[in-house]
Amino acid sequence: MKTLLLFMCAAVSLQAADYYVTVAGLGGDPDYEARFVKWAQDLERELKTDPDAHVITLSGLGATRQQVEQAIAKVSSEATETDTFALFLIGHGTFDGTDYKINLPGPDMTGAQLAAALNRIPARRQLVVNMTSCSGASLASLTRKGRIVISATKSGNEKNAPVFARYWVDALHDPSADTDKNGSVSALEAFRYADRKTAAYFESEKLLATEHALITDTANPTGVRDPKPENGQGLLAASFVLIRQRTESGKALSPEKQRLVSKKEDLEAKIDRLKYEKAAMDETDYKRQLTALLLELARTQAEIDR
C-alpha cells in the first residue's frame, strides 16, 4: 500500500460512487436467509449515510432476475459517464464447470447475464463485489476496463457460504479500515480489511480457510490475492471511494491557503518518493529525512487548518 501511493501521486481525483445496487439472493434455509438479508440491510444503511447516493437493495423474494435486471436498467438510464456504480452480490453461487450463477428466486442469473446488464451502464468507473460462494468463477465474465471486480472466493470450487460479506460491511463503518487516514474508505481498503478479517476468523476458529478473496481492476480476468505495484493491481481500487470524503476542493481558498495546499501536496509527493527509495537508503538517514518532511507537512497542515 505504501509504494502504491507513489503510483497514485499523479493524483487520481477521488470520486464518490453515485449508484449502488445490492442483491441478496436466495438463502435456502432460514439461517442463511436471515444472514443474507441482514448483511444487505447493513450495507444499505452504510451506503445511505451519503445523502447523495442512489441506493437500491433487493433481497428475499424481491430479488428475482427480472427485478435485478430492472434495477440495473434503471441505473443505466440515470447514470452518466462521470458517475460511478457499484454492485454488491450476497448469497449462494454455483459453478457447473462452465457457468457461474447466483441463486435467485426463480431463474438464476449467470455471470455473463450480469455482465451484459452491467455493460449497458454508462458510468466509466464501476465496482462489482461478488460475495457469493463460487464467486471466483464469475471474474472472467465480469472483468472489463474501468471495472473493479472483487470475488469472495478464488474459484468456482470454493462452495461454502463465505463470511467475506460480513467483513465487507464492517469495513464501511470501522474506522480502522481507513488505513491511510484520509477520511474515506476505498474499495482497496475495504477489500484488504475484509480479506484480513476473513483470514483471522478461520485462524481463530482453527478451521481450514474455505474462501480466498480475489481482486482485479485491470480487466485481467485472473484476480490476485494481494494487489500491489509489482502485479499491477489495486491502483483503480485505491481511488474508488465507497464512503464519500468531504474535500476542501469545494471551498474557495485564499491565495495564502492555496499556496499552503500546494506546499502540502509537494511535501506528500516528496514523502512518497522517499518511501519508494527506502530500501536503498541507510536506515538512520531515511528516518531523519522522513521525520523532517513529516514535521514540515504537519506544520503546513496546521497552517491550512488555522
Partner 1 sequence: MRIFTLIFTLFLPAVAALPGDNCKALRHHGQMKEARACFSALAASADAFSQAEGLWGLQRFDDAKLAFTAAEKRTPNSAPLKTEFGLLFFERFNSAEAVNLFTQAVTLDNNYAPAYLGIARVAAAAFDHRASEAAEQAAQHDPKLYQAHELLAFLALEDNDAKKAQEEAQKAIGISNEAIDAMAVLASIDWLNGKAESEWLPRILKINPVYGEAYSTGGHFFEINRRYEEAIQYYRKALDLNPALWSARSQLGVNLLRQSADAEARQQLELCYNAHYRNAETVNSLRLLDSLDTFETFKTANTELRLSRKEAPLLRPYVEPEMQRAIATYERKYQMKLPGPVHLELYANHDDFIVRTLGLPGQGGLLGVTFGLSVAMDSPTARQAGQFVWANTMWHEMSHVFVLSATHHLVPRWFTEGLAVHEEGSASPEWGDRMTPEIVSALEKKQLLPVLELDKGFMRPKFPGQVMISYYQAGKICDFIHQKWGDAALLGMIHSYAARKTTDEAIQENLHENPAAFDKEFFAWLDQQTANTVKHFADWKKGMKDLVASYKAGNFDEVIAQGVKLRDDYPEYTGGESAYELLADAYQHKGNKIAAIAELEKYRAAGGTTVESLKKLALWEQDAGNLKQARTTLATLNYIYPEDEETHRRLGTLLLQAGDADGAVREGKALLALQPFDAAESHYELAKALKAAHRMGEAKDEVVLALEAAPGFKPAQQLLLQLSQ
Distance CA 70, CA 74 (A): 6
CB of 144 to partner 1, least distance (A): 29
Q: Which is nearer to partner 1, 119 or 291 (CB)?
A: 291
Q: Which is nearer to partner 1, 12 or 116 (CB)?
A: 12
> Considering the rule CB under 8 A, would residue 182 count as an interface residue with partner 1?
yes
> Considering the rule CB under 8 A, would residue 13 count as an interface residue with partner 1?
no
Distance CA 87, CA 77 (A): 16
In terms of Cα–Cα distance, which of 26, 136, 144, 140 is closest to 85?
A: 144
In terms of Cα–Cα distance, which of 135, 276, 290 is closest to 216?
A: 135
Are the CB atoms for 72 and 121 separated by under 8 Å?
A: yes
CB of 300 to partner 1, least distance (A): 9
Distance CA 191, CA 292 (A): 33
> Considering the rule CB under 8 A, would residue 297 count as an interface residue with partner 1?
yes
Selected binder of partner 1 within 74, 124, 196, 228 (CB under 8 A): 196
b/e 160-173 (16+ beta carbons within 10 angstroms → b): ebbbbbbbbbbbbe
> Considering the rule CB under 8 A, would residue 124 count as an interface residue with partner 1?
no
Distance of CA 255 to the CA centre of its chain: 36
CB of 250 to partner 1, least distance (A): 18
Q: Which is nearer to partner 1, 210 or 301 (CB)?
A: 301
Selected binder of partner 1 within 176, 249, 254, 284 (CB under 8 A): 176
Distance CA 209, CA 211 (A): 6
Q: Which of residues 19-58 bind partner 1 (CB under 8 A)?
A: 31
> Considering the rule CB under 8 A, would residue 101 count as an interface residue with partner 1?
no
Q: Which of residues 203-262 bind partner 1 (CB under 8 A)?
A: 203-206
Are the CB atoms for 128 and 142 separated by under 8 Å?
A: yes
- Per-residue contact flags (x/-) with partner 1 for residues 276 to 295, judged by CB under 8 A: -----------x--xx--xx
Burial of 125 (0-12, 13-18, 19+ CB in 10 A): buried
| Residue ranges that bind partner 1, judged by CB under 8 A | 2, 31, 175-182, 192-193, 196-197, 203-206, 268, 271, 275, 287, 290-291, 294-295, 297-299, 301-302, 305
